[in-house]
Structure 1
Amino acid sequence: MRIALVSLAAAAVAAVATPAMADEIRVEGRTGIIWNGSGDEAVAGVAAGYDYDLTKNVFIGVEGSADKILTDHTRVAWGAGGRAGVKLFEGTKIYGSAAWQSKPCRFCNSSVNLGGGVQQSLNKNFYAKAEYKHMLIGDNTPDADVGLVGVGVKF
């Protein structure tokens, strides 16, 4: 039930965050660690999205991603979701996020992710970010957590 409710929330964020023109398009590479209480593994991936300013300090956005757990017998997990947040200072964004992600291995389950992060501009075109996600997996599979850091370019 919670997977269905969070999926609906992620879909609503994505639907609301699809304006005709984006204020900031972004593409990033990222890496981090996934853990679930029985072990941890390295993760690497890419993401692309755009953010739309609702006001001077409030934004919403959509994002697509491709991430892989760096171990044998895993595959790329594709994700789609949205984020909403505030601009605290010049070049600093803090946000909450929700997304759906496909299963990372043949016998794994897909998940819904809830999380948040901070994105800091390094200059006009480049940024760095740190992000945390809690993965709600369901079907009696333990939930997992992911910590990511990344660098990207914005247009």
Structure 2
Amino acid sequence: MRIALVSLAAVAAAAAATPALANEARVEAHGGVIWDGSDSEAVIGIGAGYDYDLGESTFVGIEGSADKILTDNTRVSWGIGGRAGFKVTPATKVYAAANWQSKYCRFCNSAVGVGGGVQQDIGQRYYVKAEYKHLLVGDNTPDADQGLVGVGVKF
């Protein structure tokens, strides 16, 4: 079901793409750390998304991700969500983001992530980014925090 949702979002983004506009698709690799107050672990992943321009200085976007905590007894967590923000300069985006993420382990809970980040273009096609998310886990499970840095390519 999760794979189907991410696939559906990717197809919808591709179908809605309009070549005449400055909208952009993106694919990235990212890594960082996830912590919950008592423990921290490294995390790596990939992401893909599509940003829609709402004018010269604002945008909204959809995105999907697959992340893995680098420890035993964890699995890939699939995420789907969106972001909205401002173009501070033609090469710099600052945004707020929210997403839903599937379970990181068999007995874990899914989570809703809220946070933000900054994306900086390097040339015409490449970018780097830094992002923070607070993961609202629920069901009497402690919330977690996640800090990521990434590198990607735009289409």
Q: TM-score, normalised by structure 1?
A: 0.87
Structure 1 runs of 4+ with >6 Å offset: none
2:152 equivalent to 1:152: yes
Distance 1:36 1:20 in 2: 38
2:74 equivalent to 1:78: no
Give 1:119-130 correspondences, 5 Å limit. Answer: 119-130=119-130
Distance 1:82 1:73 in 2: 28
Give 1:33-44 correspondences, 5 Å limit. Answer: 33-44=33-44
Distance 2:85 2:124 in 1: 20
2:17 equivalent to 1:21: yes
Q: TM-score, normalised by structure 2?
A: 0.87
Deviations 1:66-118 (A, max 9, x none): 00000000000000000000000121000000000000000000000001000
Structure 1 match to 2:110: 110
Instruction: State the one-letter code of the partner of 2:153.
Output: V
Distance 1:61 1:90 in 2: 17
Structure 2 match to 1:64: 64
Distance 2:60 2:37 in 1: 32
Distance 1:63 1:144 in 2: 21
Aligned pairs, how many?
140
Distance 1:150 1:120 in 2: 10
Instruction: State the one-letter code of the partner of 2:30.
Output: R
Distance 1:149 1:36 in 2: 19
Q: Secondary structure at the match of 1:132?
A: strand
Distance 2:115 2:71 in 1: 24
Quote the offset at 1:21 in angstroms.
Answer: 1.8
Deviations 1:30-53 (A, max 9, x none): 000000001100000000000000
Instruction: State the one-letter code of the partner of 2:17.
Output: M
Distance 1:54 1:40 in 2: 38
Q: Percent identity?
A: 66
Structure 2 match to 1:135: 135
